[in-house]
C-alpha cells in the first residue's frame, strides 16, 4: 500500500464490528501496516472519568483538552452548539498511517466491508448500499454482487481490506461531493 487508504467496517449494532477490528488490527500490523481506527458513537461517551484532570477541565468549561505523556496524547473537543463532525472532517485529522479502519458511519459514502450476523434478524446492508465492497458474514450470500467471506476467516478479511480500501484523498473528496 502506498499512501493512506480507508475502509469502513459497517453493520448493525451487535454484529461484531469492534470485535472484528480488534482481531484484524494485529494481523494487519504484522503485515507491515500502520493502522488507525476511527469510531462513530451514537451517543455521548466519556474517555476520561470524574476526578481525572482532563474530565475536570472539560467539566469546568474548556472547549478542548489535550493530555500528553511520554507514551501517548489525546485530544478532546467539546462540540457545544456546533454540528457533529463529518466523516470527511475526522479523516482529515487522522495522523499519517497506511490504513484507517472506520467503524460505524454505515450510511456514509465511503468504501465499506459489511459485518453480518444472521442471529440479529435484520436485513443485510449490501443489497442497498453500492459502497459496500465486501461482506464478512456467518452465512452465504450466493446472490451478492460483492465478495463474501466467512466472518471467522481473518486472513481472507485482511486480504479484502487491503484490496478494497481506497486512497484517503479520494474518499474525502467523494464524501464532500456527497457520493
Mean pLDDT for each 10-residue chunk of the chain (179 residues)?
87 94 94 91 70 79 76 77 84 91 91 96 96 96 95 97 96 88
Number of domains in the chain: 1
The answer to whether residue 98 sits within a structural domain is: yes
| Cβ–Cβ < 8 Å for 168, 100 | yes
The predicted structure's pLDDT at residue 44:
62
**Cα–Cα distance, 173 to 58 (Å, whole number):** 33
Residue 127: inside a domain: yes
- Residue 138 maps to which CATH number? 3.40.50.300
Q: Which residues contact 51 (CB under 8 A, 6 or more apart)?
A: none
Cα–Cα distance for residue pair 146/121, rounded to 1 Å:
21
Domain assignment present for 103: yes
pLDDT the model gives residue 65: 79
Q: Taking the model in full, what pTM does it have? A: 0.87
Provide φ and ψ at 96, rounded to 5°: -55, 135
- pLDDT, residue 42, reads 67
What is residue 1's predicted lDDT score, i.e. its pLDDT?
Answer: 46
Assess if residue 151 is contained within a domain. Answer: yes
Answer whether residue 102 is part of any domain.
Answer: yes
Residue ranges making up the domain that contains 161: 5-43+85-177
Cα-based distances in Å from 71 to 68, 74, 131, 161:
8, 11, 37, 29
Residue 45: predicted pLDDT: 62
Q: Is residue 56 a part of any domain in this protein?
A: no
Amino acid at each position: 500500500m502506498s499512501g493512506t487508504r480507508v475502509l469502513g467496517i459497517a453493520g448493525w449494532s451487535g454484529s461484531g464490528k469492534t470485535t472484528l477490528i480488534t482481531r484484524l488490527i494485529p494481523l494487519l500490523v504484522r503485515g507491515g501496516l500502520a493502522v488507525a481506527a476511527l469510531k462513530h458513537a451514537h451517543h455521548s461517551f466519556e474517555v476520561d472519568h470524574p476526578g481525572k484532570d482532563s474530565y475536570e477541565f472539560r467539566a469546568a468549561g474548556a472547549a478542548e483538552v489535550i493530555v500528553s505523556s511520554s507514551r501517548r496524547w489525546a485530544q478532546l473537543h467539546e462540540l457545544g452548539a456546533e454540528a457533529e463532525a463529518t466523516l470527511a472532517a475526522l479523516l482529515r485529522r487522522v495522523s499519517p498511517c497506511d490504513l484507517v479502519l472506520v467503524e460505524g458511519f454505515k450510511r456514509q459514502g465511503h468504501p465499506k466491508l459489511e459485518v453480518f450476523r444472521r442471529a440479529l434478524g435484520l436485513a443485510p446492508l449490501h443489497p442497498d448500499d453500492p459502497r459496500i465492497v465486501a461482506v464478512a458474514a456467518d452465512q452465504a450470500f450466493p446472490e451478492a454482487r460483492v465478495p463474501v467471506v466467512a466472518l471467522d476467516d481473518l486472513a481472507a478479511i485482511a486480504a479484502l481490506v487491503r484490496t478494497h480500501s481506497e486512497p484517503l484523498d479520494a474518499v474525502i473528496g467523494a464524501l464532500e461531493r456527497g457520493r
